[in-house]
Structure 1
């Protein structure tokens, strides 16, 4: 389909969402490539969803009926210049970083600048806005470790909040689903490139046992501090396959796309895991549509 242009100049195109997810599944939707506050306001005039880096997400094979917003252009740019009014010799508060900025590249740039705070998120294939929305992280750190201010847009308007004003926690920010994280300011500790790289290497080493194929990431949150992967492994489910989807032999809390997997295949594996593991498991994936949605 040829791309259209909205009244605010936003490019709009009907596309398969499999193009934008790390799992590589998902049907079609109307995608809005938003580059300005005016374009965002227009896109939010009708029901919408926000799609960042596409990790941690399983999209229905039928796609979704809502508009899908992707932040681009100026909303995917970064200003890491220290704000002199907010920074100290020990701590740097940056300019604004757009919600559409890819997190991996941002983490690498911060390492080169010797700024510490987000290295625990190394390797997470997300955009900044989505990573903030779910407080993405590893056992070595999470997004809220390095946040100073978060700009949030809703159909009612724009507000800027500090982390202390949000009920954030393990893999959640407390930001409602229909809110868009458009920009953030980072609060980072002054360190050295070598010291930050060493901490990045620790987090990266912990990922060595994870599968390298297409995957949304970890399927379930760890219940009560117990490893969800170990529970799934103990249930004998490593290597279980449905269609083109597989519970990874490398790590049982990952579902991978062997090629040609569908969302239905992934859901079938999730149901098998829930039925076989002896404790309730909470999904880490976001599902489009969600449970109970049409």
Structure 2
């Protein structure tokens, strides 16, 4: 391990250890804990790696620097800001982009603070979860955001959700921008009330696989006429549950999940995505991030319905 001129820790490491799928080759990783270190890391081509969910990294790794938020960027202040909080709603102090989302959701439940319980079970970090507006049908990250601090190639800025063109699995934040911190906007309640809503969301996830997985593979597509349909249902109807390439498999429990049975490679996962593209006749957009990008797998296809 070495240090950059601003004190960032730099080391070549296998990225598989930082992903929920458990695949990814070796790359140069920068551990940054200050805005100065982050600005230095962003001087050359870079990628930001948070909790490693929703991500499939090439077996060869990536040529760019890989940035990990650490130190103060991985800390949280959940105390209400008295100048912004009221009787029924609070605005917290800053929560770092490197804070694990599951631990944050549990901490909010113990405090009886609501708005993010719909994200229960999502394994990412706050920054990445905000960047893609992660969520479930019970809620999403933008339900609980007041202010977002973003590092850009031109400096650091603060925005509100109203400043962004956000929507389903999309924050409107450009790809080369990094969510460093957020302030949360939360409703006051009781721990029991928040737990009940978390239990409802968690119950709906019981059919999801327990093996290593990036999460849902495809976004739910919209059919001609405006009807949104389950991607998992379409893959299931194509008879693909349990399909296996190498040690990667389309999960028998839920067809919109690809799992690592142990020793899977990114190439195995890419091959399964191609199988799904071939067999499912509905244009679908990949929910995973692929490093490096593969547009032929990521973008919604234009095939007609079969």
Mapping 1:62-141, distance limit 5 Å: 62-141=60-139
Distance 1:35 1:282 in 2: 34
Unaligned stretches of 5+ in structure 1?
none
For each residue in 1:202-237, what CA deviation from the matched residue of structure 2 results, as whole angstroms up to 9, or x when unmatched? 010011000000000000000122010000000000
Mapping 1:169-184, distance limit 5 Å: 169-184=167-182
Q: Secondary structure at the match of 2:272?
A: helix
Distance 1:51 1:135 in 2: 16
Mapping 1:272-283, distance limit 5 Å: 272-283=275-286
How big is the shift at 1:292?
5.1
Q: Which residue of 2 aligns with 1:146?
A: 144
How big is the shift at 1:9?
1.0
TM-score by length of 1: 0.98
Distance 2:250 2:145 in 1: 34
Q: Which residue of 2 aligns with 1:244?
A: 247
For each residue in 1:1-45, what CA deviation from the matched residue of structure 2 results, as whole angstroms up to 9, or x when unmatched? xx1111111110100100100000001110001111111011001
Distance 1:20 1:233 in 2: 30
Distance 2:56 2:146 in 1: 30
Distance 1:292 1:255 in 2: 19
How big is the shift at 1:278?
1.2
Q: Secondary structure at the match of 1:256?
A: strand
Q: CA RMSD in A?
A: 0.8
Distance 2:295 2:260 in 1: 25
Is 2:207 the counterpart of 1:209? yes
Distance 2:292 2:151 in 1: 22
How big is the shift at 1:272?
0.3
Q: Which residue of 2 aligns with 1:166?
A: 164
2:193 corresponds, among 195, 211, 218, to 195
Q: Which residue of 1 aligns with 2:303?
A: none
Q: Which residue of 2 aligns with 1:262?
A: 265
